[in-house]
A and B are shown apart, each in its own frame.
Chain A
Amino acid sequence: MTDPAPLIAVTNLIKQFGRFAALRGVSAEFSAGKLYAILGDNGAGKTTLLRTLAGLTRPTSGQVSILGAGKFHDICHQVGYMAHPSLLYDEMSGMENLEYFARLYGVTDQARCAFVIRAVGLDPDLARPVGQYSQGMRQRMSLARALLNDPKILLLDEPFSNVDLHSAAEMVQLLARARDQDKTVFIVTHQASLLEGAADEFVWMEFGRIVARTRELKR
């Protein structure tokens, strides 16, 4: 039996920021319905790789193909992205934020907003603005925003930072369930142990390159 076509393929991806090379020829293929943990030290290129996949950073050279499309805009409605900052308006409540972002994806059903807020363990009726949330609550609301459009691919940058262990474990379970529903999940994290048993593959990066891909957390 042959392997199915990769969901995401990157070929010889290079990203220069001035004289600094954040990505130095990354080539890899990623399959559908898997949870990938992207690991590495600070400056290894994890966030740059994720931002390149999310279409936010243009590679200096190399190619990215997602769901067979060369242009991110063609498939952006199938991608959910969560960055290290919350990507939320501090002056609005979580529900107000999500209602706005839902419209950008053509999601008009308010029940969907309430559903994803509950899915990350928050209360959709919480009226206070996001600026008054704890850091952990903001992270979870940010994950809810990424889930809004029911994406096939989730690109998550440090989703567990500042989240307490119990909530982080719940988030991992939620993401594992998403993977079981044939979604592909990429998680950039420094808290790899949280994903032990949940991740299908650990992708190790060093100095802008993928240096190893393992099924276990050990290299």
Chain B
Amino acid sequence: MTAPTGITRFTLLKDLRLEWRSKDAINSMLFFSLLVVVVFSFSFDPTAEESRQIAGGLVWVAFLFAAVVALNQTWARELRNQVLDAYRVSPAPANSLFVAKVLGNFIFVSVLEALMTPLFIAFYRLRALGPAWQLLLVAALGTWALVVNGTFFAAMSLRTRSREIMLPLLLFPIAIPALLAMVQATASILTGETSARFWLVLLATYDLVFTTVCLLLFETVLNAE
């Protein structure tokens, strides 16, 4: 029997291979984020100071909406040809699949963030006045918060008729505390006025709680009819 970590690794590699060949998620995410950057930069003409205040909200809302595209794709490819049933009848643990999907989405959204951040910086003339390295921490913890819940709720809405609509309806209210922490932490770091420590701790706690809850409940969600 392959160890659960081994199954996670093979499932993750399989998902990366499928995404590399289809480019379903990454193309849609990039296009959407690019639109947000361009449209907002033409709609407003903020000063450097105003940019530091609003950039956190703008960036994270853009990434949240873009992530929903990837999250929907994650399970859509398992529904084509009902491949998910092949996993369900196998002895592989449900959580190996969940962790692989979360890691896959984390990679996709991180790639998007890495590609889009220079554009955000250029369009909004951003320069951090606080400790810039903490932005990496916000990105890592915030992205994990989005994808762990998103992957779980995307699985929950899998068998509903309008799952593309259902996912944001389920995900966004749950993501509000994380989104608030991400926006506030980013604004604190960019303006350098206050410490982002409280928001980082809140994000880490949020990640821990929701990762645990999702892992506990995923098998039930996977086998629900």
Contacts and interface: CB of A to CB of B under 8 A. Distances in A.
Nearest to B21: A91
B89 A81 contact: yes
Interface stretch (A1-9, A50-58, A120-128, A199-207): A50-58
A100 B81 contact: no
Contacts, number: 78
A77 B91 contact: yes
Q: Which range contains the number of B residues in contact with the other chain?
A: 20 to 34
Contacts of A215: none
B88 interface: yes
B92 A104 contact: yes
Contacts of B87: 104
Given A56-B89, A81-B85, A104 B2 contact: yes
B17 A92 contact: yes
A141 B92 CA distance: 21
A137 to B, nearest CB: 14
A76 B21 contact: no
Given A103-B2, A103-B7, A89 B14 contact: yes
Contacts of B43: none
Contact of B81 (A77, A79, A85): A85
Given A58-B225, A76-B90, A77-B91, A104 B83 contact: no
B81 A104 contact: no
B196 to A, nearest CB: 41
Interface string B84-127: 01111111100000000000000000000000000000000000
Q: Which range contains the number of A residues in contact with the other chain?
A: 20 to 34
B83 A87 contact: yes
A30 interface: no
Contact of A87 (B1, B2, B18, B81): B81
Contacts of A89: 14, 18, 77, 80-81, 83
Interface string A122-143: 0000000100000000000000
A145 interface: yes
Contacts of A72: 89
A108 B11 CA distance: 15
B162 interface: no
21 contacts: A55-B88, A55-B89, A72-B89, A76-B91, A81-B85, A81-B86, A85-B82, A87-B82, A87-B86, A88-B83, A88-B86, A89-B80, A90-B81, A92-B21, A100-B14, A103-B2, A103-B10, A104-B2, A104-B87, A104-B91, A106-B1
Given A91-B22, A106-B91, 13 more contacts: A56-B88, A56-B89, A58-B223, A72-B89, A77-B1, A81-B86, A87-B81, A91-B21, A92-B17, A96-B17, A100-B11, A105-B2, A105-B92
